[in-house]
Amino acid sequence: MTSNTARHNEARQKGKHSDKKFSDFIVAYQNEEEANLPLRCSSPGEENYGNNGAISPIRRASTRNARSSMPDTHLPVHYAPNIDNAALAASTNDADALHRLVHARLCMDDIAGASHYMHLALAAAPHRADLWEHAGLIAATRGDLIFAEACFHRSLTLAGDTATLHRNLADCLRQSARLAEARYHYTRALEIEPQLLHAVRALALISAELGDMGDAANYWLHARELDPSSLNDAINLVAALAKAGRVEELLCTVRQLRSQFAENAAALEALSYVLYQHDLFGDALSVARQGLAVDPQRAELHHYVASALSICGQIDASLPHSIEAARLLPEDPFMQYHLAVLQLMTGDYKDGWTRHKAYYALPDKQRRLFFPSFREWNGEPVKGCRFLLVSDQGHGDEIQCLRFAVWLHEQGAVVDLLTSEWVAPLAVSLRGVRCVFAEPPSGPYEFWSHLLRMPEYMQLEVSNLPSVRMPYLHAPSDKIDRWRTRIENFSRHNPRTVPRRVGIVWSGDPTFMLDRFRSIPLSKFIACFQQPGLTWFALQKGAKEREAECLADAFQIHTLGPDIKDFVDTLAILETLDLLITVDTSVAHLAGAAGRPVWVLVPAYAEWRWLRNRDDSPWYPSMRLFRQRELGNWDPVIEEVTKALRLWRDACIPPAGT
């Protein structure tokens, strides 16, 4: 951990602004007894350690602290409203009397009134440290953190170090996001009172916010020593140990918690969840099963078992638990959506597409997605009707589902498409689409639908895929010619270049929550690059688009990513290549929709679109799938791809579907 001296110096440097504010307030009190202080009202809240371990603002908690530390007034709460303020006017220099009035007002939850009397008490006795401390608590309750900080500093100057003052000042600083200073004062509070659990928890949270996961884990360990019964401290400890990579301590802690909470299904549920969140799927599965032995009717535990199994590709084992979770919580969209994904993956399109509507009930979808005011389509005849098809997914899903616009046109609808600005230029090549929008059109339309609501009412089955004539996307001929000329120039400039051209994409969108399992380090493909008779073209976009440049001297690999402006460029390049090898990302869908030969390396986790136990895709006849069998282990998959690549090269036939 950082030394106290270093923290103190850091805090002093960052505290210059607050010192100035402090002196401003002191002058205001000394010179203007009736000054109106700049206090801001805030809604009350309780101090709480939630699932994320965050401490809520010190509002209602400060009220409790202020009230509990006031002197006993012997003044009944019901008497306080009847106090004649005029009769007290002559006593405005009696700090004790005014302090008792502060207490009375706090008992009534009258924070404004308490603040008023505290103002008078401070004017009467500006030398009293206890009054400044209580003024700080009241100011923090009202959300005036600047003045609260000034009060606490003044009290420290008058009274010297106390654990309570350092803790309250640290709370105030933390609310102001001045974490280094807050950490210093929490540490001082602990030095004075080593059993101060609030400070230990706060230091753990601050350490985590500052990225010091080792310190965070140490503080949570200390918190566990002080309060072994706290489940929330234990869960935060597991998370911190996982992030710090302290595996042995983590496993030991998990064993202890499984024993301590062996009969507590709710606690085991929380433990299973935090283990799952940190990719400890085997442990999460074991803990969830332990919880089900205690309470077999706990839906969340069934859900965690199903999730841990499905992310590892164990679909058959996952399905019964997902069914049970959905049965126990029929209104919960998470349970229903997870089951829908498994049903679609197993080819149960009838029930899967019907249940898939739960996706649109997930908490963020109503906010993030566009829901037009027109009539939503529920399978009615569409011949002659104006129909707005609305995108609701990522780029890959959009490209996969653009086919539904063609299907609607074939049913006689007049089809407009609202899609993302990245996919819109592609969509203009779709057969039968009248207009493509990147912003919501005004209409009117007889019907509208989100893209992935279409299959249910289309009665889409695996047997009638790909559902439209392939390909359904086409690149403009002028772009194809431009890219073909550029790619052929590599052959003229390099006599070693040979005709067999292979594109490569090794990484997906890093913001996708499972990207760490689908993206593959470029170095894993070295065995592929070593195969003679091939020229490689890196189509990677984003932060990794230049990674292949360092391999250009050793292999026949050319980096195109920095010059690719949009999906239309990528599609045009694909038209000039013999094969694309890619991870499961939008370019895979682009190649498939254009009918170009593409091999996709599919991770082990459940992904409905690729079904299971097959190496082809009914969605894309030109696609071949290479499936990962163990989550995180790409080596066997790369070996399989390398062998297939060698056979494809030697056969000198198109690779599609081979």
Mean pLDDT to the nearest integer, 2-16: 37
Rounded CA-CA distance 301/266 in Å is 9
pLDDT of residue 651: 87
Rounded CA-CA distance 231/176 in Å is 28
pLDDT tens digits along 374-383: 999 999 999 9
Q: Distance of alpha carbon 559 from its chain centroid, rounded? A: 32
If pLDDT is split at 50, 70 and 90, which confidence band does 494 have? low
Rounded CA-CA distance 39/51 in Å is 31
pLDDT tens digits along 518-561: 999 999 999 999 999 999 999 999 999 999 999 999 999 999 99
Mean pLDDT to the nearest integer, 329-340: 97
Q: Is 234 left (phi over 0), alpha (psi -120 to 50) or beta?
A: alpha
If pLDDT is split at 50, 70 and 90, which confidence band does 30 have? very low
Query: Going by CATH, does the domain composed of 369-464 fall within 3.40.50?
Result: yes
Class at the top of the CATH hierarchy for domain 4-210: mainly alpha
Mean pLDDT to the nearest integer, 304-310: 97
What percent of the chain is modeled with pLDDT above 90? Answer: 80
Strand pairing of 447-450 and 579-583? unpaired
pLDDT tens digits along 443-480: 899 999 999 999 999 999 999 999 999 999 999 999 99
Mean pLDDT to the nearest integer, 558-581: 97
Mean pLDDT to the nearest integer, 325-353: 97
Residue whose tokens read 């007049």? 414
pLDDT tens digits along 428-438: 999 999 999 99
Alpha helices by DSSP H, listed for 32-176, are: 60-68, 95-107, 111-124, 129-141, 145-159, 163-175
pLDDT exceeds 80 at position 318: yes
HSE value, Cβ hemisphere, 13 Å, CA-based, for 438: 9
- CATH 1.25.40.10 location in the chain: 4-210, 261-366
Is residue 295 exposed (0-12), middle (13-18) or buried (19+ Cβ within 10 Å)?
Answer: middle
- The C-alpha torsion from 633 through 637 and 643 to 646, rounded to 10°, is -110
pLDDT of residue 598: 98
pLDDT of residue 93: 82
pLDDT of residue 490: 80
Q: How many CB atoms lie within 10 A of CB 541?
A: 22
pLDDT of residue 489: 85
pLDDT of residue 366: 83
pLDDT tens digits along 93-149: 889 999 999 999 999 999 999 999 999 999 999 999 999 999 999 999 999 999 999
pLDDT exceeds 80 at position 75: no
pLDDT of residue 495: 53
pLDDT of residue 40: 23
pLDDT of residue 92: 66
- Determine which helix (DSSP H) or strand (DSSP E) holds 19, and give its type and residue range: helix 16-31
pLDDT exceeds 70 at position 497: no
pLDDT of residue 60: 31
pLDDT of residue 291: 98
If pLDDT is split at 50, 70 and 90, which confidence band does 28 have? very low
Q: How many CB atoms lie within 10 A of CB 154?
A: 23
pLDDT of residue 473: 97
Mean pLDDT to the nearest integer, 345-353: 97
Residue whose tokens read 């306080």? 80
pLDDT exceeds 60 at position 89: no
pLDDT exceeds 90 at position 573: yes
C-alpha closest to that of 474 among 571, 336, 579: 571
Q: Distance of alpha carbon 243 from its chain centroid, rounded? A: 16
Secondary structure (H, E, C), 327-364: HHCCCCHHHHHHHHHHHHHCCCHHHHHHHHHHHHHCCC
pLDDT tens digits along 237-290: 999 999 999 999 999 999 999 999 999 999 999 999 999 999 999 999 999 999
Q: Give the pair of three-digit tokens for residue 264.
A: 């507590």
Name the CATH superfamily housing domain 261-366.
Tetratricopeptide repeat domain (1.25.40.10)
Mean pLDDT to the nearest integer, 7-15: 37
pLDDT of residue 606: 84
Mean pLDDT to the nearest integer, 609-617: 96
Task: Output the pTM of the full model.
Answer: 0.82
pLDDT of residue 652: 65
pLDDT of residue 46: 30
Task: Please enumerate in sequence order all residues whose Cβ is within 8 A of that of 84, keeping only pairs 6 or more positions apart, or say none.
Answer: none
3.40.109.10, 3.40.50.20, 3.40.50.300, 3.40.50.2000: CATH of 477-651: 3.40.50.2000
- The C-alpha torsion from 448 through 449 and 451 to 452, rounded to 10°, is -170
Per the DSSP assignment, residues forming a β-bridge with 600 are 582, 625
- CATH 3.40.50.2000 location in the chain: 477-651
Mean per-residue pLDDT over the chain, rounded: 86
pLDDT of residue 14: 35
pLDDT of residue 85: 52
pLDDT of residue 112: 92
pLDDT of residue 492: 59
Mean pLDDT to the nearest integer, 387-398: 95
Phi, psi of 521 (to 5 degrees): -55, 135
pLDDT exceeds 90 at position 50: no
